[in-house]
Structure 1
Amino acid sequence: MTETLDGPRLAPASGGPARQLVIFLHGYGADGNDLIGLGREWQHLLPDAAFVSPHAPEPCGMAPMGRQWFALTRLDPDEYWAGVRHAAPALDAFIDAELDRHGLDDSRLALVGFSQGTMMSLHVGLRRARPAAGILGYSGALAGPEHLDAEIAARPPVLLVHGDRDEVIPVAALQIAAQTLGRAEVPVQWHVSHGVGHGIAPDGLALGGQFLGEVFAVPAGRP
């Protein structure tokens, strides 16, 4: 049985119906409350967007108050690959339900992930039948890069942002992901935040908001 996900939501700041949907996917040991604040930061850029940040389906083994998309016993590529495959059906079902809730299709969807949530965003977003408007990944990695060519179904624009002092997922993961996506003909951009560890710095936050405005074709300077 597929786990039913839920989490905090923000309605469009415009007060009208949603014209875009942004789904945040949090990192290991956090929950949906960890990223929903990014929606408040970006509401002025995307006044017609609905934001939702689901709690991952499992209690976190290493942080009992938090959640996990999949278990981690070590920073191991095989564990990443098994984990994203295990968690994908629940996330796909949640995406479908949220799009249906707002009467939108994948072309009006953006996935925004952090760390383990970036792994989920890239895994699911590149395998859906129709491409999303975009995928924004912070401090994450592409799980199972060797499997992408055989499984890719969609090529939405991707922006990857990473700190050069990340002590959890080294910045080299960004380069591997960007190179793999580029070879798969996915339009990918990337940015390294200097002096930043495993987190989101102001420059990455600003670039992320700009990226979402571009993929959703929101007029620049719109209040």
Structure 2
Amino acid sequence: MCDQLEPVQANLHHELIAPRTRADACPTLVLLHGRGDSAAGILPLAYEFERDDLLVISVQAPLELGGVMAGGYEWYRLQQPRSLNEATLRTSLDALAEFLDTVKASYPVDPERVVLLGFSQGAVMSLGAQALRPPSVAGVIALSGYFPIEIESDAGNLVGAPAFVAHGVYDDVIPVEAGRRTRDLLERHGVDLTYREYPMAHSVSVEEMADTRDWLSWLLDNDGP
């Protein structure tokens, strides 16, 4: 039952919030944090989704940071030229795919209703995961991120995939132009896309979370906006 869960052994550290209602196959939201954060750091975002039936799994990136960002984690290295990032990006995408297989085999999830939600670098991972292993999840929520150019040749796999992509117009970490390029790329490749911009910086807002909740309800229940 979904309300009686203990974390299983997996290739990536993760934390759980079990749903409040009993079910043998739960809709599942997988949270992917941004660079410098952790599974515990993004987990409170789960409380923005007012669903009694939702299993939330927050996943921690495999690469530990040091220096002023000690205690934080990243999904892939940020190096110049950007081509140097591809190896760690693909390694982490493979690790995430393995993790999702473990989740579907080990937890009482509904495999047809698993949704990825990523913020910043986690948004990059969510879009990349759906492109490399379609249809691994039911949909993707990508907040303040972008589609990774390192795997743009795989974007054609996204045809018909549902995605909610949002960005802050005042984002000074990942400029909104990156979000708009992602919007254009996803539209070219036939993604079932909802794109939104908000008057905010590199963060989330009340309005954005309300729209995200509505989109998730539409995806899981077909009763959204």
Into which bin does the TM-score normalised by the smaller protein fall? 0.7 to 0.9
1:212 and 2:222 matched: no
- Check if 1:72 corresponds to 2:74: no
Return the letter of the residue paired with 1:37: P
The alpha-carbon distance between structure 1 residues 166 and 59, as it changes in their structure 2 partners (threshold 3 A), is same
Partner amino acid, structure 1, of 2:28: L
Distance 1:141 1:81, change over 3 A: farther
The structure in which a higher percent of residues are strand is 2
The AA in structure 1 aligned to 2:17 is L
Alignment equivalent of 1:178, drawn from 179, 183, 205: 183
Match for residue 3 of structure 2?
none
Find the partner of 2:115 among 83, 105, 110: 110
Structure 1, gaps ≥5 residues long: none
Range that drifts further, 5-14 or 127-136? 127-136
With the length of structure 1 as denominator, give the TM-score of the two structures.
Answer: 0.86
Question: Could you tell me which residue of structure 2 aligns to residue 135 of structure 1?
Answer: 140
- Partner letter of residue 76 of structure 2? F
- Matched residues, number: 213
Q: Could you report, residue by residue, the CA deviation over 1:138-196 in whole angstroms, capped at 9, with x for unpaired residues?
A: 1101002641346x2664210111111111100011111111111111111111111x1
Identity of aligned residues (%): 26
Pairwise CA RMSD: 2.2
Shift of 1:35: 1.6
In structure 1, C-alpha distance between the alignment counterparts of 2:53 and 2:222, rounded to whole Å: 9
Q: Distance in 2 between matches of 1:84 and 1:131?
A: 17
- In structure 1, what is the Cα distance between the partners aligned to 2:223 and 2:160? 23
Q: Which residue of the partner structure matches residue 58 of structure 2? A: 53
CA distance in 1, matches of 2:176, 2:87: 22
Distance 1:170 1:108 in 2: 31
TM-score of the aligned structures, taking structure 2 as reference length: 0.86
